[in-house]
Structure 1
Amino acid sequence: MPQLRVASYNVHSLRDDRRALTEVVRALDPDVLVVQEAPRGLRWRTRCAGLARDFGLVYAAGGLPSLGNLILVSYRVRVRDTWALRYPLTPGRHMRGAAFARCVVGRTPFVVVGTHLATDSAERPGQARTLAKALADVDVPLVLGADLNEEPNGACRGLLVENLADVAGEDGTPTYPVHAPGRRIDALLVDPAIEVRGYRVADTPAAHRASDHFPIVAELGLPD
Structure 2
Amino acid sequence: MRTVIGLLLTLISLATYAGEGPFARKMKKLRVMTYNIHHCNPPSAGAKIEVEAIARVITNEKPDFVALQEVDVNTERSGKGLHQAKELARLTGMHYFFSKAIDHQGGDYGVAVLSRFPIIDSTRLILPIDPVIGGETRTIAAITVEVAKGKKVIFASTHLDLKEPNRLSQSELIINLFKDSTLPVILAGDFNAQPDSKVIGLLDQNFTRSCLDCKPTIPVKEPNRVIDFIMFKPGSTFKSLSTRVIDEQYASDHLPVVAELGITY
Pairing 1:48-59 to 2, within 5 Å after superposition: 48-59=85-96
Counterpart of 1:21, as a letter, is I
Counterpart of 1:117, as a letter, is L
> Alpha-carbon deviation of 1:138?
1.8
Q: Distance in 1 between matches of 2:121 and 2:70?
A: 22
> Alpha-carbon deviation of 1:40?
4.7
Q: Distance in 2 between matches of 1:189 and 1:12?
A: 22
Counterpart of 1:188, as a letter, is I
Q: May I ask how many residue pairs the two structures share in their alignment?
A: 217
Specify which of 159, 168, 177 is matched with residue 219 of structure 2: 177
> Alpha-carbon deviation of 1:86?
0.5
Q: Paired residue for 1:71?
A: 113
Q: Distance in 2 between matches of 1:162 and 1:44?
A: 42
Q: Paired residue for 2:261?
A: 220
After TM superposition, the structure 1 stretch with the greater mean CA deviation from structure 2, 125-134 or 36-45, is 36-45
Computing the radius of gyration from Cα coordinates, the structure with the larger value is 2
Q: How far does the alpha carbon of each residue in 1:1-31 deviate from its partner, in whole angstroms, 9 at most, with x for none?
A: 1111111100012222433322211111101
Q: Distance in 2 between matches of 1:53 and 1:99?
A: 18
Q: Paired residue for 1:24?
A: 57
Q: Distance in 1 between matches of 2:130 and 2:73?
A: 19
Q: Distance in 1 between matches of 2:111 and 2:81?
A: 12
Higher relative contact order (CA 8 A, sep 6+): 1
For structure 1, the 5+ residue unaligned runs are none
Secondary structure of residue in 2 paired with 1:54: helix
The two structures have a TM-score, normalised by structure 2, of 0.76
Q: Paired residue for 1:202?
A: 246
Secondary structure of residue in 2 paired with 1:112: strand
Counterpart of 1:53, as a letter, is R
Pairing 1:2-21 to 2, within 5 Å after superposition: 2-16=28-42, 17-21=50-54
Specify which of 122, 129, 138 is matched with residue 181 of structure 2: 138
Q: How far does the alpha carbon of each residue in 1:73-115 deviate from its partner, in whole angstroms, 9 at most, with x for none?
A: 11xx232111111012344421111111111112221111111
> Alpha-carbon deviation of 1:65?
6.6
Q: Paired residue for 1:47?
A: 84
The percent of aligned pairs where both chains have the same amino acid is 29
> Alpha-carbon deviation of 1:214?
0.6
Secondary structure of residue in 1 paired with 2:200: helix
Q: Paired residue for 1:189?
A: 231
